Homo-oligomer: A and B are copies of this chain.
Amino acid sequence: MVEGHDSPGGTGAARRSYRVTSFDVAAAAGVSQSTVSRALAGDPVVSEATRARVAEAARRLNYHVDENAARLRTGRTGTLAVVVLSRTGENIRDFNPFYLALLGSICAAASQRGHETLVSFQAERERLWGRYQEQRKADGLIVLGTSENRAGWDYFAELAAEGAHMVCWGVPGGVRSDNVAGADLATSHLIAAGCRRIACIASETSPQRQFTERWQAHAAAMKAQGLQPRLVPITPGLGREEQGRAAIAAMLAASGGQPDFDGIFAACDEIALGAIHALAAAGIAVPGQVGVIGFDGIRAGIHSSPPLSTIEPDFAIAGQLLVDRLLALIAGQDAGEDPLVPVRLVPRGSTARN
């Protein structure tokens, strides 16, 4: 008998600390312990009559398999770790809601596939942790979150190089939005709204590889229409909104206060919202003088003034693709081509230029 455990015949007060095991179920059902294990696991070798008797006994005793024992024996955990990277010192309330929604869709997709999700928010460099497989807490790892946490992405890239089962959001080799289709949609939408001098607030050097893809696809789409693309690079280290404000401030300063652009394609919605704020503060009408479109489809865009046009990835599919790719990796299958999450144009007030 182990410390702290009472026998089934113990006092009522200690009832909760006694653990029902498969031996108890076996006794109640009049079979052996191994038969209980097989019956509850749905092993087809067990006769239907026996299975039903065992199931009934298990139900009556409120028996549930001790997953630690099962995992110790099988080596499988049925669990996926999900790491959400944020910036050091960032208040959770200021965290990009895009990643929170993505987290939700990952958990839902994992659950549909019979897996648990062990979630961890990580920021500080000294507290980064990804050795879930070694600890046998999970069979693999999904990483998402802000690209601004460089140390975090470096740490996890190293684990992946060591052979950990890992899928990342937003990087080549992982899963990301269909940025080319999205940039095409955004660009043609701005052009259809009458914009010609379009500035793209993005980056060619950000660790956020998706920003580069969006910019490059946008530039190609502009050129295809005989228009001149223009990149306004974001300032590393700032929050996304702040980056949007700073980009507008820099452009206006360079052109003497009057806008020399009539459209903005922002690499993400948070940047777009910051840009809209800065434009409003400078007395420039959106969408009257400048049309603005973002990328990501975050909820705040519904409520902004004006409401923000955006390119929205399909969140449910995003979670499914991440989970399925990780499960394929765990199963030792070739994951194949990088899957892309389909996107759609959501036109709202910020591009409603008559």
Contacts and interface: CB of A to CB of B under 8 A. Distances in A.
Interface in A271-308: 273, 297, 299-306
A65 B137 CA distance: 10
Given A68-B71, A72-B72, A117-B118, A92 B315 contact: yes
Contact of A120 (B93, B117, B120): B117
A223 B319 CA distance: 50
A16 interface: yes
Interface string A305-328: 110000010011001000000000
Contacts of A255: none
What copy number does this chain have within its complex?
2
A316 B95 CA distance: 13
Nearest to A65: B135
Contacts of A93: 101, 297, 299, 312, 315
A124 to B, nearest CB: 11
Interface in A121-140: 121, 127, 131, 134-137
Given A68-B136, A134-B64, A101 B100 contact: yes
A237 interface: no
A117 B116 contact: no
A34 interface: no
Nearest to A97: B97
A97 B315 CA distance: 15
Interface of A: 2, 4-5, 16, 19, 62-69, 71-72, 75, 77, 79, 82, 84, 91-95, 97, 100-101, 103-105, 107-108, 111, 116-121, 127, 131, 134-137, 163, 273, 297, 299-306, 312, 315-316, 319
16 contacts: A16-B163, A65-B135, A66-B72, A67-B135, A69-B72, A92-B104, A92-B108, A95-B104, A100-B100, A100-B104, A111-B127, A116-B118, A117-B119, A118-B118, A273-B303, A303-B305
Q: List the 7 closest A-B pairs by CB distance, nearest first.
A: A305-B305, A64-B134, A100-B100, A92-B104, A303-B304, A119-B119, A68-B72
Given A72-B72, A91-B316, A92-B108, 18 more contacts: A64-B131, A66-B72, A67-B135, A67-B137, A92-B319, A93-B297, A93-B299, A94-B299, A95-B101, A97-B299, A100-B100, A100-B104, A107-B119, A111-B121, A111-B127, A116-B137, A118-B119, A303-B303
